[in-house]
Amino acid sequence: MPNFLVNTLFMMDYKHILPDTLNIDKVIAVGHDWGGLVSWYMALYQPHRVLAEASSCTPYWNTLPENSKLESFVKIYPILACQLYLVQDQAAQVFDANIEKIFRLVYSFKCIKSPPMTQGMEELIPNLKRCHIEEASHYLLWESPDKANSVLKQWFLQITS
């Protein structure tokens, strides 16, 4: 099974490509889910290039060693146990054969509100601001786009004024 955490060298390269290609000195990194992990790492490894970072449905963790295995991570955060199935060889075939059922299942899934995975982030991240959209789940950008965009807009105005 592959290492769970993203390869640091890949992350280092990725963080340079977009700002350098577009000739941008500082970026506001915004990500959702696994894209949130990328934006957290941009802020962590290139703080001089990141004005601010926003992440939806992606807590910041600093407790796992770089070569953690997925099984170890799921022991800490059991809500992610489905990831153990997704990395198996037969998962792609099952998805292909049952795509409509799987999308219905995935999009009907509601995440636990205020998951424990985010506890303690205030101690790790200076100036952390949180927002919780009560009626939304992991898919908040589809379920509550107006509220999510309003929160982001207010935050952008605060950090750029």
Q: If residue 79 lies in a helix (H) or strand (E), which one and from where to where?
A: none
pLDDT of residue 5: 40
pLDDT of residue 16: 57
pLDDT of residue 112: 46
> pTM here?
0.65
pLDDT of residue 78: 79
Q: If residue 29 lies in a helix (H) or strand (E), which one and from where to where?
A: strand 27-32
List 31's β-bridge partners, or say none. 55
| Structural tokens at position 65 | 């060693």
pLDDT of residue 7: 41
Amino acid identity of residue 128, one-letter, is: L
pLDDT of residue 108: 58
pLDDT of residue 41: 81
pLDDT of residue 153: 92
User: What is the Cα gyration radius of the chain?
Assistant: 17
How many beta carbons lie within 10 A of that of residue 15, not counting itself?
22
pLDDT of residue 6: 42
For the chain, domains (ranges, CATH) are 8-160 (3.40.50.1820)
pLDDT tens string, the chain, 161 residues long: the values are 334 344 444 444 555 556 677 777 888 888 888 788 888 888 887 888 888 998 888 887 765 555 677 788 788 777 778 778 888 888 888 888 888 887 776 665 544 445 667 778 888 788 888 888 877 778 888 888 999 899 999 999 998 88
| Structural tokens at position 130 | 């949180």
Determine contact, residues 75/10, Cβ cutoff 8 Å. no
